[in-house]
A = this chain, B = another copy of it.
């Protein structure tokens, strides 16, 4: 049915609202930026900057990662990449540097600061302190002329273009791909996996209709940092109380929350953790919880009440691709609650914590 016919059948103010809502979708940056992710990931793959950073970082046994918010979730993904490759990875508590004037001995470490805007004063402070101490320093940022980029010896630019939506999407996946390249983990399949996951939008919208507030978001292994990120998107965009958990911890304590009707979203990919996640899904159903899943594993999907399936791939790549249905899910919940996906209530884009 053509828009003009709908228009004729409705009152003028209804028609006006319809036109406005079409304009809002056309103007919505979030969906555009979600769909830009495969191209942005390809640019990070093609860049030579991660190669230069890799040589410097892998020369040290300790990798120290400083970040906030979504970038901190990417740093947690990086922790798994580096530790499975023989390095110790530590996440900085940036306030130790800015509020406590702590100066941990980073002379044996390589330090990676991550910030989309590059404007987080505390992340730049960690990098500056480490560089003074003689450590190789890397900035992963979308803004080359930022305080963070200036503080670091090596810059890995995300070249994601301006991210106008308040919620980080394309810079999150780009950062994860950059970290995979710095760690020497294969990432050639990442853009394709992310692109294939763009086809899950309708399924994620269906899943959104099953979500209850509050929601537990559970992952393990490489799925854990992606669970952190999906929970954060759902919280900041939709205002739904979505709490992330490591599946290992969830089973001993927070599972007390899984009373009848509680809603749990499991992120699981094939690999060493998948058996425990299938068992968790079955256990949660027995306890009466509503179990949803984002996964590449049909057995986990079958164990859940409802699931979004993505194509399988190397574990760290498949896990990363789960963020795409997670972003769609967060967006669908946002629209269902009548919120603006680009400007969540009460948030600002740039984190300026000291």
Q: Which residues of A contact B (CB under 8 A)?
A: 61-62, 64, 68-69, 72, 79-80, 82-84, 86-91, 93-96, 99-100, 102-109, 122, 214, 220-221, 224, 232, 235-237, 239, 241, 243, 248-249, 251-259, 272-273, 287, 344-348, 351, 353
**Cβ contact within 8 Å between B256 and A345:** yes
Q: Which residues of chain B are within 8 angstroms of A348 by Cβ–Cβ distance?
A: 252
Contact for A346 among B64, B232, B258, CB less than 8 A: B258
Closest to A97 in B: B83
Complex partner residue of A259 from B62, B95, B239, B256, CB under 8 angstroms: B239
A–B pairs, 8, beta carbons within 8 Å: A62-B90, A82-B104, A86-B103, A88-B105, A94-B248, A235-B257, A248-B353, A256-B346
Q: With a CB–CB cut-off of 8 A, which chain B residues contact A69?
A: 249, 252-253
Q: Which residue of B lies closest to A236 (CB)?
A: B253
User: Can you name the residue of chain B whose Cβ is closest to the Cβ of A235?
Assistant: B254
Residue picked from A69, A72, A102, A256, most chain B C-beta under 10 Å? A256
Which of A104, A106, A108: most chain B Cβ within 10 A?
Answer: A104
Beta-carbon contact of B214 and A236 below 8 Å: no
Which residue of the partner chain, among B64, B249, B256, contacts A68 with CB atoms under 8 Å? Answer: B249
Contacts A89-B90, A109-B88 given: A347-B99 contact, CB under 8 Å? Answer: no
| Set B83, B105, B106: member contacting A93, Cβ < 8 A | B83
Q: Which 3 A-B pairs rank lowest in CB-CB distance, beginning with the nearest?
A: A90-B90, A99-B272, A236-B253
Q: Are A236 and B254 in contact (CB under 8 A)?
A: yes
Bound together, the chains give a CA A345 to CA B103 distance in angstroms of 44
Cα(A253)–Cα(B347), bound, Å: 6
Contact B273 A253, beta carbon cutoff 8 Å: no
Question: Within 8 Å CB of A96, what residues of B?
Answer: 80, 83-84
**Nearest B residue to A238 by beta-carbon distance?**
B256
Q: How far is the CA of A84 from the CA of B97 in the complex (A)?
A: 9
Q: Please name all residues of chain B whose beta carbon is closer than 8 Å to the beta carbon of A254 when the two chains form the complex.
A: 232, 235-236
CA distance A104 to B108 in the complex (A): 15
16 more A-B residue pairs beyond the given contacts A86-B104, A255-B346, with a C-beta to C-beta distance below 8 A: A62-B108, A64-B88, A80-B100, A83-B104, A84-B102, A86-B105, A88-B106, A93-B224, A99-B273, A108-B108, A235-B253, A236-B256, A239-B256, A248-B353, A252-B353, A256-B347
- Please measure, in the bound complex, the distance between the C-alpha atom of A184 and the C-alpha atom of B107, giving whole angstroms: 22
With A95-B221, A236-B253, A257-B235 given, is the CB distance from A248 to B287 under 8 Å?
A: no
Inter-subunit contact B241/A214 (CB<8 Å)? yes
Evaluate contact between A257 and B273: CB separation under 8 angstroms.
Answer: no
Separation of A99 and B221 alpha carbons in the complex (Å): 9
A103 to B95, CA, bound (A): 30
Is B108 within 8 A of A84, CB to CB?
no
Smallest CB–CB gap between A212 and chain B, Å? Answer: 11
A88 touches B87 (CB 8 A): no
